Amino acid sequence: MIEIYTDGSSRGNPGPAGWGCVIFFNDKSIELGGSFECATNNQMELTAVSNAFSFCIENKIKNNEVIIFSDSKGQCVQAINEWIYNWEKRDWKGSNRKPIKNTDLYKEILQKKRKIISLGNTVLFKYVEAHVGVHSNERADDIAYAFASGEIPDLAK
């Protein structure tokens, strides 16, 4: 099993922004993160997921259960577990027939999710409440916040 905690942060919405991931893989913890000059919090939440998926693909994760924990219930957990397939069928429009926001990121995530599944993995997003002491979620948040604040945190490799 691979466990991944993701988070995003922006200083202003939009504003300077960052994303962070904590990945538990092969009995070790690996941390990823990055920054953008100007983005929204939701864009960073999705960017963290996309980068976590890239990690799985680059490391040729096969025949595993990949669980992504996010404190972004609507933008990540529900959207990527459920809604994304209907959006794709409706040409990336919501049930209100209006274009969904961040379509480019959702398309990228869906493509990567399908690649991970094609390698024999299962992918499941789970909601974790923010700021309630879940250590790995707090760490992903700290990484994202540091990058959004112009700092470069020490990341576990």
Catalytic annotation present for 131: yes
Backbone angles phi, psi at 155, to 5 degrees: -110, 135
Query: Which of 27, 91, 131, 154 is an active site residue?
Result: 131
User: Is 7 a known active-site residue?
Assistant: yes
151: annotated active-site residue: no
From the list 31, 45, 138, 151, the catalytic residue is 45
Q: Write down the catalytic residue from 20, 31, 33, 71.
A: 71
**Catalytic residue of the set 7, 18, 31, 33:** 7
- Reply yes or no on whether 45 is catalytic: yes
What is the set of active-site residues? 7-8, 45, 71, 131, 141
